[in-house]
Amino acid sequence: MQFFLDTANVKEIYEAASLGILDGITTNPSLVVKEGRSFKEMLQEICKIVDGPISAEVVSVEADAMVKEGRELAKIHKNIVVKCPLIPEGIKATKKLSAEGIRVNVTLCFSANQALIAAKAGATFISPFVGRLDDINMDGMELISDIRQIYYNYGFDTQILAASIRTVNHITQCALVGADVITAPPSVIKALANHPLTDAGLAQFEKDWAKTGQKIL
Protein backbone atom coordinates (compact mmCIF):
# COMPACT_ATOMS: atom_id res chain seq x y z
CA MET A 1 0.00 0.00 0.00
CA GLN A 2 1.18 3.50 -0.83
CA PHE A 3 0.76 6.43 1.56
CA PHE A 4 -0.13 9.84 0.13
CA LEU A 5 -0.45 13.00 2.19
CA ASP A 6 -3.57 15.10 1.63
CA THR A 7 -2.27 18.64 2.02
CA ALA A 8 -0.85 21.60 0.13
CA ASN A 9 1.18 22.81 3.12
CA VAL A 10 4.90 22.55 2.41
CA LYS A 11 5.87 22.45 6.09
CA GLU A 12 3.54 19.50 6.70
CA ILE A 13 4.93 17.74 3.64
CA TYR A 14 8.53 18.16 4.81
CA GLU A 15 7.62 16.75 8.22
CA ALA A 16 5.78 13.73 6.80
CA ALA A 17 8.54 13.07 4.25
CA SER A 18 11.07 12.83 7.07
CA LEU A 19 9.37 9.62 8.23
CA GLY A 20 10.53 7.92 5.05
CA ILE A 21 7.14 6.34 4.27
CA LEU A 22 5.58 9.04 2.07
CA ASP A 23 4.86 8.01 -1.53
CA GLY A 24 2.91 10.96 -2.94
CA ILE A 25 0.72 14.01 -2.37
CA THR A 26 -2.89 14.90 -3.14
CA THR A 27 -4.12 18.48 -3.32
CA ASN A 28 -7.47 20.05 -4.14
CA PRO A 29 -8.79 23.62 -4.50
CA SER A 30 -9.95 23.70 -0.86
CA LEU A 31 -6.44 22.82 0.36
CA VAL A 32 -4.78 25.22 -2.08
CA VAL A 33 -6.83 28.25 -1.01
CA LYS A 34 -5.67 27.79 2.59
CA GLU A 35 -2.05 28.39 1.53
CA GLY A 36 -2.66 31.74 -0.16
CA ARG A 37 0.12 31.36 -2.72
CA SER A 38 0.73 30.66 -6.41
CA PHE A 39 -0.64 27.22 -7.30
CA LYS A 40 2.05 26.47 -9.86
CA GLU A 41 4.91 27.63 -7.62
CA MET A 42 3.53 25.55 -4.77
CA LEU A 43 3.38 22.45 -6.99
CA GLN A 44 6.95 23.01 -8.16
CA GLU A 45 8.14 23.16 -4.56
CA ILE A 46 6.18 20.05 -3.57
CA CYS A 47 7.68 18.13 -6.50
CA LYS A 48 11.15 18.92 -5.16
CA ILE A 49 10.28 17.41 -1.79
CA VAL A 50 8.40 14.24 -2.78
CA ASP A 51 9.51 11.97 -5.61
CA GLY A 52 6.14 10.43 -6.34
CA PRO A 53 2.70 11.19 -7.77
CA ILE A 54 1.51 14.73 -7.00
CA SER A 55 -2.17 15.24 -7.74
CA ALA A 56 -3.19 18.69 -9.01
CA GLU A 57 -6.83 19.38 -9.80
CA VAL A 58 -8.36 21.11 -12.80
CA VAL A 59 -10.97 23.76 -12.02
CA SER A 60 -13.03 23.86 -15.20
CA VAL A 61 -16.18 21.76 -15.60
CA GLU A 62 -16.14 21.48 -19.41
CA ALA A 63 -14.10 18.71 -21.02
CA ASP A 64 -12.05 20.71 -23.52
CA ALA A 65 -11.11 23.26 -20.85
CA MET A 66 -10.19 20.47 -18.45
CA VAL A 67 -7.91 18.96 -21.08
CA LYS A 68 -6.17 22.29 -21.64
CA GLU A 69 -5.71 22.82 -17.90
CA GLY A 70 -4.52 19.25 -17.49
CA ARG A 71 -1.90 19.66 -20.20
CA GLU A 72 -0.69 22.87 -18.54
CA LEU A 73 -0.44 21.22 -15.11
CA ALA A 74 1.36 18.19 -16.53
CA LYS A 75 4.06 20.50 -17.92
CA ILE A 76 5.07 21.54 -14.41
CA HIS A 77 6.79 18.26 -13.52
CA LYS A 78 6.85 14.63 -14.62
CA ASN A 79 5.30 13.58 -11.30
CA ILE A 80 2.14 15.66 -11.70
CA VAL A 81 -1.08 13.65 -11.88
CA VAL A 82 -4.07 15.60 -13.16
CA LYS A 83 -7.21 15.39 -11.05
CA CYS A 84 -10.55 15.44 -12.85
CA PRO A 85 -13.99 15.36 -11.17
CA LEU A 86 -16.19 12.34 -11.73
CA ILE A 87 -18.77 13.98 -13.95
CA PRO A 88 -19.48 13.18 -17.62
CA GLU A 89 -17.23 16.03 -18.80
CA GLY A 90 -14.53 14.78 -16.45
CA ILE A 91 -14.74 11.30 -17.96
CA LYS A 92 -14.36 12.79 -21.45
CA ALA A 93 -11.30 14.74 -20.29
CA THR A 94 -9.86 11.65 -18.61
CA LYS A 95 -10.14 9.69 -21.84
CA LYS A 96 -8.35 12.42 -23.84
CA LEU A 97 -5.63 13.07 -21.29
CA SER A 98 -4.88 9.40 -20.66
CA ALA A 99 -4.66 8.84 -24.43
CA GLU A 100 -1.92 11.49 -24.47
CA GLY A 101 0.01 9.69 -21.74
CA ILE A 102 -1.00 12.10 -18.99
CA ARG A 103 -1.88 10.35 -15.73
CA VAL A 104 -5.30 11.16 -14.30
CA ASN A 105 -6.72 10.84 -10.81
CA VAL A 106 -10.51 10.81 -11.07
CA THR A 107 -11.86 12.32 -7.88
CA LEU A 108 -15.15 12.66 -5.99
CA CYS A 109 -16.12 9.01 -6.52
CA PHE A 110 -19.07 7.80 -4.46
CA SER A 111 -20.28 4.69 -6.31
CA ALA A 112 -18.95 1.52 -7.91
CA ASN A 113 -20.49 2.49 -11.25
CA GLN A 114 -18.56 5.77 -11.20
CA ALA A 115 -15.37 3.84 -10.52
CA LEU A 116 -16.14 1.47 -13.39
CA ILE A 117 -16.51 4.21 -16.01
CA ALA A 118 -13.39 6.00 -14.71
CA ALA A 119 -11.38 2.82 -15.24
CA LYS A 120 -12.82 2.37 -18.72
CA ALA A 121 -11.76 5.94 -19.53
CA GLY A 122 -8.18 5.09 -18.59
CA ALA A 123 -7.84 6.67 -15.15
CA THR A 124 -4.56 5.98 -13.39
CA PHE A 125 -6.21 6.48 -9.99
CA ILE A 126 -9.79 6.46 -8.76
CA SER A 127 -10.48 8.36 -5.53
CA PRO A 128 -13.49 7.04 -3.57
CA PHE A 129 -14.31 9.29 -0.60
CA VAL A 130 -14.66 7.00 2.40
CA GLY A 131 -15.32 9.52 5.16
CA ARG A 132 -17.90 11.54 3.26
CA LEU A 133 -19.95 8.38 2.65
CA ASP A 134 -19.71 7.49 6.34
CA ASP A 135 -20.97 11.00 7.12
CA ILE A 136 -24.30 10.25 5.42
CA ASN A 137 -24.65 6.83 7.06
CA MET A 138 -23.37 4.86 4.09
CA ASP A 139 -20.48 2.38 4.25
CA GLY A 140 -17.43 3.95 2.63
CA MET A 141 -15.36 0.83 3.13
CA GLU A 142 -17.94 -1.32 1.36
CA LEU A 143 -17.43 0.89 -1.69
CA ILE A 144 -13.67 0.27 -1.61
CA SER A 145 -14.33 -3.48 -1.43
CA ASP A 146 -16.83 -3.36 -4.32
CA ILE A 147 -14.41 -1.42 -6.54
CA ARG A 148 -11.62 -3.85 -5.70
CA GLN A 149 -13.78 -6.79 -6.79
CA ILE A 150 -14.91 -5.11 -10.02
CA TYR A 151 -11.36 -4.13 -11.00
CA TYR A 152 -10.20 -7.67 -10.26
CA ASN A 153 -13.03 -9.17 -12.33
CA TYR A 154 -12.09 -7.23 -15.44
CA GLY A 155 -8.36 -6.73 -15.04
CA PHE A 156 -8.43 -2.94 -14.76
CA ASP A 157 -5.07 -1.36 -13.91
CA THR A 158 -6.63 1.71 -12.32
CA GLN A 159 -5.36 2.07 -8.75
CA ILE A 160 -7.80 2.57 -5.89
CA LEU A 161 -6.78 5.70 -4.01
CA ALA A 162 -8.91 5.79 -0.88
CA ALA A 163 -9.62 9.41 0.04
CA SER A 164 -11.44 11.27 2.81
CA ILE A 165 -9.59 9.12 5.34
CA ARG A 166 -10.52 10.29 8.83
CA THR A 167 -8.96 7.75 11.22
CA VAL A 168 -6.17 5.21 11.52
CA ASN A 169 -8.89 2.54 11.55
CA HIS A 170 -9.88 3.65 8.06
CA ILE A 171 -6.32 2.93 6.94
CA THR A 172 -6.36 -0.54 8.51
CA GLN A 173 -9.67 -1.33 6.83
CA CYS A 174 -8.42 -0.06 3.47
CA ALA A 175 -5.37 -2.29 3.75
CA LEU A 176 -7.56 -5.30 4.55
CA VAL A 177 -9.88 -4.83 1.56
CA GLY A 178 -7.06 -4.09 -0.86
CA ALA A 179 -6.92 -0.35 -1.57
CA ASP A 180 -3.75 0.41 -3.51
CA VAL A 181 -3.24 3.83 -1.96
CA ILE A 182 -4.61 5.91 0.90
CA THR A 183 -4.41 9.67 1.13
CA ALA A 184 -4.81 11.12 4.59
CA PRO A 185 -4.23 14.39 6.44
CA PRO A 186 -0.98 14.79 8.41
CA SER A 187 -2.67 14.17 11.76
CA VAL A 188 -3.81 10.69 10.70
CA ILE A 189 -0.44 9.74 9.19
CA LYS A 190 1.31 10.78 12.43
CA ALA A 191 -1.15 8.77 14.51
CA LEU A 192 -0.29 5.50 12.73
CA ALA A 193 2.67 4.88 15.05
CA ASN A 194 0.78 5.70 18.24
CA HIS A 195 -0.32 3.12 20.79
CA PRO A 196 -0.55 3.47 24.59
CA LEU A 197 1.05 0.08 25.17
CA THR A 198 4.03 1.09 23.03
CA ASP A 199 4.44 4.22 25.16
CA ALA A 200 4.13 2.27 28.38
CA GLY A 201 6.57 -0.40 27.22
CA LEU A 202 9.16 2.14 26.12
CA ALA A 203 8.90 4.01 29.42
CA GLN A 204 9.56 0.77 31.30
CA PHE A 205 12.53 -0.14 29.08
CA GLU A 206 14.07 3.30 29.60
CA LYS A 207 13.61 3.02 33.35
CA ASP A 208 15.19 -0.43 33.48
CA TRP A 209 18.08 0.55 31.20
CA ALA A 210 18.92 3.50 33.44
CA LYS A 211 19.41 1.05 36.30
CA THR A 212 22.24 -0.67 34.43
CA GLY A 213 24.32 2.51 34.39
CA GLN A 214 25.50 1.67 30.87
CA LYS A 215 25.68 3.53 27.56
CA ILE A 216 25.72 2.21 24.00
CA LEU A 217 27.56 5.21 22.56
Beta carbons of 109 and 127 less than 8 angstroms apart: yes
Neighbours of 154 (CB within 10 A): 10
162 φ/ψ sector (left φ>0, alpha ψ -120 to 50, else beta) = beta
DSSP per-residue string spanning 170-182:
HHHHHHHHT-SEE
Q: What angle do CA 186, 123, 154 make, to 5 degrees?
A: 115
- Beta carbons of 148 and 160 less than 8 angstroms apart: yes
Phi and psi for 122 in degrees, rounded to 5? 95, 20
Enzyme catalytic residues: 83
